[in-house]
């Protein structure tokens, strides 16, 4: 069976909270449920949940029913029951420090005062999970934040919120299919037509400077890191992937294999089709006496092949089983592939 991803939208239960700023996480879940026709869902472990497949990934979506400041209770119950690791979780929540109309995807981080996130971090015992901040902006005048977040959107703000919820759902789809790095490069910032930061011309000028700096000092990893960041902001994803691989080679020449492997992971997160690099990552973990991470990488590769080439997916599962013949997820995955192999 394909490994499950958990998508959680934060909010408060009850009709009076339904359209408030604090419940934008629920609104994004509603968009995905409607988009993929997942029905009414069901109640489990103090959450309303839906199961389905999005972009070829098996997902569970959840709205905690415990009120915002106790969101971690139901998340911990869901993740324990379904054995979902932190790196397969994304949490959608409102953010006062992000302007209305903007999204901010992050791979990890603190709670920033958001009570739902604080509860989740406390209950899960870690903060290394993805989150999608839905900008609601700061309260006007002397209004207290606690009052502001519990007010509904009105007028033009209500239209912007609906548009941003759809865009947030798009971002989650990209997170599922292409990984967090590509989702960040495409969606972090204001909605199209609302950008107030650097223009494309400014970024192009910065790109020229970074390219020149890299040409003058090709062994300077800092110059290359800056270049990759600008490439991502401009949507030059293939070049950014090549940059991560070049940076990996640079770290290899310096004997920094851990940093080299981390760059290869970034490259395949953006472009999973780099199957040789995926295998190289697995082999590196084996060389570092990290069999669990090696097996997990082979299963990630199997998931990439699953719909494209079930026989190839099975070969990757067999590589994971060669490391651990009793690996429960690999055994379950092997069984789940049989119907696909029989139809070929």
Give the Cα separation of 6 and 19 in Å (integer): 23
The angle at the Cα of 43, spanning 37 to 47, to the nearest 5 degrees, equals 95
Asked if 138 and 97 count as a contact pair (C-beta separation under 8 A), the reply is yes
- Give the residue numbers marked as catalytic: 22
The structure tokens listed for 25 are 């996480």
Give the Cα separation of 35 and 54 in Å (integer): 10
* 30 CB burial (10 A radius; 0-12, 13-18, 19+): middle
The predicted pLDDT at position 344 comes to 57
Give the Cα separation of 27 and 37 in Å (integer): 15
The closest of 278, 275, 279, 210 to 240, measured between CA atoms, is: 210
The predicted pLDDT at position 67 comes to 86
C-alpha pair distances (Å), 89 with each of 9, 39, 41: 11, 22, 19
Any idea where the domains of the chain sit in the sequence?
Answer: 5-190, 198-266, 272-344
Long-range Cβ pairs for the range 34-37 (8 Å, 24+): 35/169
Q: Which residue has the tokens 């299919």?
A: 177
- Does domain 198-266 sit in CATH 1.25.40? yes
Q: pTM of the full predicted structure?
A: 0.59
Q: For the domain covering 5-190, report its CATH number.
A: 3.40.50.1470
User: What is the chain's pLDDT, residue by residue, as a tens digit (344 residues)?
Assistant: 457 899 999 988 888 888 888 899 999 999 999 988 888 888 888 889 998 888 778 899 999 998 888 888 888 999 888 888 888 899 999 988 888 888 899 988 887 778 888 899 888 888 888 999 998 888 888 888 888 888 888 888 888 888 888 889 999 998 888 888 888 888 887 655 444 445 678 888 888 998 998 899 988 988 899 899 888 878 788 898 999 999 999 999 999 999 999 899 888 877 888 999 999 999 999 999 999 999 989 988 888 888 788 899 999 999 999 999 998 888 988 888 888 777 65
Instruction: Give me the torsion for CA of 168, 170, 172, 173, rounded to 10°.
Output: 170
Asked if 116 and 151 count as a contact pair (C-beta separation under 8 A), the reply is no
The closest of 115, 93, 114 to 104, measured between CA atoms, is: 93
Residue 102 CB partners (closer than 8 Å, separation 6+): 135, 164, 189, 190, 191, 194
Pick the CATH number of 272-344 from 1.20.1740, 1.25.40, 2.60.40, 1.10.3470: 1.25.40
The predicted pLDDT at position 196 comes to 42
């Amino acid at each position: 069976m394909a490994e499950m991803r958990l998508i959680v939208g934060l909010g408060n239960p009850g009709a009076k909270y339904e359209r408030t700023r604090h419940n934008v996480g629920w609104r994004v879940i509603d968009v995905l449920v409607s988009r993929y026709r997942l029905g009414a869902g069901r109640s489990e472990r103090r959450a309303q949940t839906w199961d389905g497949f999005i972009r070829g990934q098996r997902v569970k979506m959840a709205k905690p029913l415990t009120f915002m400041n106790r969101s971690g209770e139901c998340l911990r119950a869901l993740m324990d029951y379904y054995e979902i690791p932190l790196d397969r979780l994304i949490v959608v929540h409102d953010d006062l420090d992000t302007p209305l109309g903007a999204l901010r995807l992050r791979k990890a981080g603190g709670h920033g005062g958001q009570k739902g996130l604080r509860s989740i971090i406390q209950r899960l015992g870690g903060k290394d999970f993805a989150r999608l901040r839905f900008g609601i902006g700061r309260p006007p005048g002397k209004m207290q934040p606690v009052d502001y977040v519990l007010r509904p959107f009105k007028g033009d703000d209500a239209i912007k919120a609906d548009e941003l919820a759809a865009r947030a759902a798009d971002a989650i789809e990209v997170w599922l299919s292409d990984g967090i790095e590509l989702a960040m490069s495409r969606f972090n910032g204001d909605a199209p037509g609302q950008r107030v930061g650097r223009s494309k011309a400014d970024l192009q000028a910065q790109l020229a400077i970074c390219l020149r700096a890299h040409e003058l000092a090709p062994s300077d990893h800092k110059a290359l890191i800056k270049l990759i960041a600008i490439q991502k902001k401009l949507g030059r994803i293939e070049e950014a992937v090549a940059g991560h691989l070049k940076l990996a080679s640079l770290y290899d020449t310096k004997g920094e294999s851990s940093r080299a492997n981390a760059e290869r992971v970034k490259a395949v997160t953006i472009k999973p089709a780099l199957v040789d690099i995926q295998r190289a990552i697995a082999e590196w973990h084996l060389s570092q006496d990290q069999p669990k991470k090696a097996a997990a990488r082979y299963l990630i590769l199997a998931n990439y092949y699953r719909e494209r080439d079930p026989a190839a997916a099975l070969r990757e599962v067999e590589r994971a089983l060669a490391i651990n013949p009793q690996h429960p997820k690999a055994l379950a995955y092997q069984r789940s592939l049989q119907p696909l192999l029989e139809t070929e």
